[in-house]
Chain A
Amino acid sequence: MAQLTFKELKKVYEGDVVAVQDFNLKVDDQEFIVLVGPSGCGKSTTLRMVAGLEDITQGDLYIDDVRVNDVAPKDRDIAMVFQSYALYPHMTVYDNMAFSLKLRKKPKDEIDERVQNAADILGLKAYLDRKPKALSGGQKQRVALGRAIVRDANVFLMDEPLSNLDAKLRVQMRAEIIKLHKRIKTTTVYVTHDQIEAMTMADRIVIMNDGFIQQVGVPKEIYDYPNNVFVGGFIGTPAMNFVYGKYTKGGFFESDNVKVKVPDAKAKLLKDKGYEDKRIILGIRPEDIHDENIVLETYKDSHVKLKVEVSELLGAETNVYAKIGDKEIVARVDARDDIKMGDELELAFDMNKVHFFDIDSEERIKNN
């Protein structure tokens, strides 16, 4: 079991590509932490520095209390699962899993016990004699996981292990990996670009963009209190709506075709922070835009008029893609099939749920 500590970690690739910088994080023992962010934001680089697959340009990396920057991969005791789920094509499933243990000169019966045990956990018992070519994508992915499990390592690193699987299998494997973690409790850093994977699997999420950490927190905290416009827009589908406008002295947020009353607490915050008569960004999640009469009556001061472009009935709910003036906006309302393209709707913003962001820094405006 182990704790990971990143202090000011930085990676500069050849050609002066800064892939990761200012990376500070503590991963607790037994924690399942998910690094999430768009492609190219530095997730794999971070993981590969931990595994010793890439040199660390600057900063310190600790496993427990040991600085491991210059410690050979051998002495880090880390097991990694790759996106490509690389397996040795010429070896059977059994041998693929046993290989690293053989190299470590473990006794035969211990190897067998560990491989059988991992195969049991992963449902691979029936496939131990097969070669990778004769396996499905999901089975190969399981073998890749098995190769890591048998190691009984201090830390697990997983780099987008599910991204090559189809949607249904992905959901199933998500659950299996979480079950596995509950069982063996190894400290895990899991990388994905899929925010749903992050939200459903993580103890804590680390959101990255452009090589920087944007926010670290438990999924609900990240969803409810995004640090900035990037996080607000990245987590959640459909994405958070952003409206650019002005906070006026009268306590309203105003933009073309939008005038909504800001609740007292938020109004005080904006005033205290000097945003009166300044341009700001309003962020609101699709599910916080309502069409129920009761809400419309409660929030009389926060109605908006929309022109519907597309309405998607998803079963339990409907996503309404619409325009306010020339601004695109998405609202998620209860299931209804009576909304058509071109319809004019009057909906209400739940102003207690909106966030305001600084227009320059794009940081959420909040009490310190």
Chain B
Amino acid sequence: MQKLHVHMQQASEHTMVKALLIDLYPSMEFVEKTKTYTHFTIDKADIIELPLESLYDLLVTDFEMRFTLVFHTIGANKLIGTAFKAHLNKLPSGTFSFEETLFHLYKLNPKSLEGIKHNLDALITQSDRTTLLAFGNANMKATNAAKRLFIHRNTMQYRLDHIQEVTGIDVKTFKGLFIIHALQTL
């Protein structure tokens, strides 16, 4: 079962929030919790009934405070390292995918992503870079990118998925592809 990592920052301490989440997600496991910050994992299937965007709406209206929720797949852990919660302070109240989060942070201050860039350089290979460049140059059309590299379309798909597995960044999204290029040129 695929796990989803969720980082949650709330405006003030609230043990009730944590109690609610435990009841809500049977598969939930805490990775870290402090007074205003929680990092937990759940099975992806757990959010089918209540998507995180809807959870955010419920939390804000019931607890009546600000929340920032960031979610990503397991791959992102190697990319972001341990100091990720410091970044959450810079995001507004809301729900953000990993790609949206990085994009947002990059826009605020590219330098703040230097640590992440460093990790990325170690995670992706020269062949990943070639894949990404071809995909970008083909305007995100995997079939065209595959033709240019003389590989099968499925191979291209596999390579793109592999990059997501390793980095947590879905490069098939605009923001994901943008940020992975931006990080490389930082």
Interface residues of A (CB under 8 A from B): 14-15, 51-55, 72-74, 76, 79-80, 82, 84, 86-90, 99-100, 103, 133
Number of interface residues of B (CB under 8 A): 27
**Given A54-B94, A74-B65: A86 touches B60 (CB 8 Å cut-off):** no
Among B11, B16, B60, max chain A CB count under 10 A is at B60
**How many contacts A-B (CB < 8 Å)?**
64
- Complex Cα–Cα for A86 and B50 (A): 7
B 134-159 to A, binary, CB cutoff 8 A, 1 in contact else 0? 00000000000000000000000000
**Given A73-B60, A86-B55: A55 touches B93 (CB 8 Å cut-off):** yes
- Which residues of chain B have C-beta atoms less than 8 A from A72's C-beta? 11, 64-66
**Given A14-B107, A55-B93, A103-B16: A73 touches B64 (CB 8 Å cut-off):** yes
Q: A51-B61, A80-B57 are in contact. List 11 more A-B contacts (CB 8 A).
A: A14-B103, A14-B104, A14-B107, A53-B56, A53-B93, A72-B65, A76-B64, A86-B57, A88-B50, A90-B23, A90-B24
- Complex Cα–Cα for A86 and B64 (A): 16
Interface residues of B (CB under 8 A from A): 11, 16, 20, 23-24, 49-51, 53-58, 60-66, 92-94, 103-104, 107
Name 10 A/B residue pairs within 8 A (Cβ), A-sorted.
A14-B103, A51-B61, A52-B60, A52-B66, A53-B56, A53-B94, A79-B61, A84-B51, A90-B23, A103-B63
- Which residues of chain A have C-beta atoms less than 8 A from B62's C-beta? 99-100, 103
B61: which of A55, A90, A100, A133 is its contact (CB, 8 Å)? A100
- Which residues of chain A have C-beta atoms less than 8 A from B20's C-beta? 88
- Which residues of chain B have C-beta atoms less than 8 A from A99's C-beta? 62
User: Chain B residue with minimal CB distance to A157?
Assistant: B61
- Complex Cα–Cα for A32 and B75 (A): 48
User: Chain A residue with minimal CB distance to B63?
Assistant: A103
B24: which of A79, A80, A82, A88 is its contact (CB, 8 Å)? A88
- Which residues of chain B have C-beta atoms less than 8 A from A54's C-beta? 92-94
A84: which of B23, B54, B63, B93 is its contact (CB, 8 Å)? B54
- Complex Cα–Cα for A76 and B65 (A): 11
B49: which of A51, A55, A89 is its contact (CB, 8 Å)? A89
- Complex Cα–Cα for A73 and B58 (A): 12
Those 10 A-B pairs whose CB atoms lie nearest each other, nearest first: A74-B64, A86-B54, A89-B49, A73-B64, A100-B62, A84-B54, A82-B57, A86-B58, A86-B57, A80-B61
User: Chain B residue with minimal CB distance to A73?
Assistant: B64
The secondary structure that dominates the A interface is loop
- Which residues of chain A have C-beta atoms less than 8 A from B53's C-beta? 84
User: Chain B residue with minimal CB distance to A99?
Assistant: B62
- Min Cβ gap B94→A in Å is 7
- Complex Cα–Cα for A26 and B41 (A): 45
- Min Cβ gap B113→A in Å is 15
- Min Cβ gap A130→B in Å is 15
- Min Cβ gap A156→B in Å is 12
- Complex Cα–Cα for A158 and B173 (A): 31
The secondary structure that dominates the B interface is helix
Q: Are A73 and B23 in contact (CB under 8 A)?
A: no
- Min Cβ gap B89→A in Å is 15
Q: Are A89 and B50 in contact (CB under 8 A)?
A: yes
Q: Are A53 and B104 in contact (CB under 8 A)?
A: no
- Complex Cα–Cα for A82 and B61 (A): 10
- Which residues of chain B have C-beta atoms less than 8 A from A73's C-beta? 60-61, 64-66
- Complex Cα–Cα for A53 and B55 (A): 12
- Which residues of chain A have C-beta atoms less than 8 A from B50's C-beta? 86-89
- Which residues of chain A have C-beta atoms less than 8 A from B60's C-beta? 51-53, 73
- Which residues of chain B have C-beta atoms less than 8 A from A87's C-beta? 50, 58
- Complex Cα–Cα for A294 and B62 (A): 62
- Min Cβ gap B20→A in Å is 8
User: Chain A residue with minimal CB distance to B96?
Assistant: A14
- Complex Cα–Cα for A80 and B62 (A): 10
- Complex Cα–Cα for A15 and B55 (A): 25
- Which residues of chain A have C-beta atoms less than 8 A from B16's C-beta? 103
- Which residues of chain B have C-beta atoms less than 8 A from A51's C-beta? 60-61
- Complex Cα–Cα for A72 and B20 (A): 21
- Min Cβ gap B149→A in Å is 31
- Complex Cα–Cα for A15 and B178 (A): 13
- Which residues of chain B have C-beta atoms less than 8 A from A89's C-beta? 24, 49-50
- Which residues of chain A have C-beta atoms less than 8 A from B58's C-beta? 86-88
- Min Cβ gap A91→B in Å is 8
User: Chain A residue with minimal CB distance to B51?
Assistant: A84
- Complex Cα–Cα for A54 and B91 (A): 12
- Min Cβ gap A75→B in Å is 8
- Which residues of chain A have C-beta atoms less than 8 A from B49's C-beta? 89, 133
- Which residues of chain B have C-beta atoms less than 8 A from A88's C-beta? 20, 24, 50, 58
User: Chain A residue with minimal CB distance to B46?
Assistant: A89
- Min Cβ gap A132→B in Å is 8
User: Chain B residue with minimal CB distance to A14?
Assistant: B104
- Complex Cα–Cα for A335 and B104 (A): 58
